[in-house]
Amino acid sequence: MVWLMALVVVVMVAGLVVTVMIGQSKSNKEENPAYFQNTGKKWLRLGWIYVVGIALAVVLSVGILNW
Protein backbone atom coordinates (compact mmCIF):
# COMPACT_ATOMS: atom_id res chain seq x y z
CA MET A 1 0.00 0.00 0.00
CA VAL A 2 2.91 2.35 0.64
CA TRP A 3 4.04 2.02 -2.96
CA LEU A 4 0.59 3.16 -4.09
CA MET A 5 0.78 6.29 -1.92
CA ALA A 6 4.27 7.00 -3.25
CA LEU A 7 3.01 6.62 -6.80
CA VAL A 8 0.20 9.11 -6.17
CA VAL A 9 2.65 11.65 -4.72
CA VAL A 10 5.05 11.19 -7.65
CA VAL A 11 2.27 11.71 -10.20
CA MET A 12 1.00 14.83 -8.40
CA VAL A 13 4.48 16.34 -8.09
CA ALA A 14 5.17 15.58 -11.75
CA GLY A 15 1.90 17.29 -12.67
CA LEU A 16 2.86 20.34 -10.66
CA VAL A 17 6.32 20.54 -12.26
CA VAL A 18 4.94 20.18 -15.79
CA THR A 19 2.21 22.76 -15.13
CA VAL A 20 4.78 25.29 -13.95
CA MET A 21 7.03 24.53 -16.93
CA ILE A 22 4.17 25.10 -19.37
CA GLY A 23 3.13 28.30 -17.63
CA GLN A 24 6.66 29.69 -17.82
CA SER A 25 7.45 28.52 -21.37
CA LYS A 26 8.77 31.06 -23.84
CA SER A 27 6.28 30.06 -26.55
CA ASN A 28 3.38 30.60 -24.17
CA LYS A 29 4.55 34.12 -23.42
CA GLU A 30 5.06 34.97 -27.09
CA GLU A 31 1.80 33.60 -28.46
CA ASN A 32 -0.63 34.94 -25.86
CA PRO A 33 0.64 37.89 -23.82
CA ALA A 34 -2.86 38.46 -22.39
CA TYR A 35 -2.52 35.14 -20.59
CA PHE A 36 -0.15 36.74 -18.13
CA GLN A 37 -2.62 39.32 -16.86
CA ASN A 38 -3.61 38.63 -13.24
CA THR A 39 -1.09 35.81 -13.04
CA GLY A 40 -0.83 36.09 -9.27
CA LYS A 41 -4.47 35.10 -8.86
CA LYS A 42 -4.12 32.26 -11.36
CA TRP A 43 -1.02 30.81 -9.67
CA LEU A 44 -2.57 31.17 -6.23
CA ARG A 45 -5.72 29.36 -7.36
CA LEU A 46 -3.69 26.61 -9.01
CA GLY A 47 -1.50 26.27 -5.93
CA TRP A 48 -4.54 25.84 -3.70
CA ILE A 49 -5.90 23.16 -6.01
CA TYR A 50 -2.64 21.24 -5.60
CA VAL A 51 -2.52 21.77 -1.83
CA VAL A 52 -6.10 20.56 -1.39
CA GLY A 53 -5.49 17.61 -3.71
CA ILE A 54 -2.35 16.52 -1.87
CA ALA A 55 -4.00 16.95 1.53
CA LEU A 56 -7.02 14.94 0.39
CA ALA A 57 -4.78 12.17 -0.95
CA VAL A 58 -2.87 12.02 2.35
CA VAL A 59 -6.05 11.96 4.45
CA LEU A 60 -7.60 9.23 2.31
CA SER A 61 -4.39 7.20 2.32
CA VAL A 62 -4.03 7.42 6.10
CA GLY A 63 -7.69 6.55 6.50
CA ILE A 64 -7.31 3.48 4.29
CA LEU A 65 -4.17 2.35 6.12
CA ASN A 66 -5.87 2.65 9.52
CA TRP A 67 -9.07 0.94 8.39
In a domain, 55, yes or no: yes
Taking alpha carbons only, the member of 57, 48, 56 closest to residue 7 is: 57
pLDDT at 59 over 80: yes
**Residues 13-42: tens digit of each pLDDT:** 999 899 888 878 777 667 666 766 777 888
**How many domains, the chain?**
1
The domain in which residue 41 lies consists of 37-66
Confidence of residue 7 (pLDDT cuts 50, 70, 90): confident
Q: How far apart are CA 48 and CA 20, in angstroms?
A: 14
In a domain, 41, yes or no: yes
pLDDT attached to residue 14 = 92
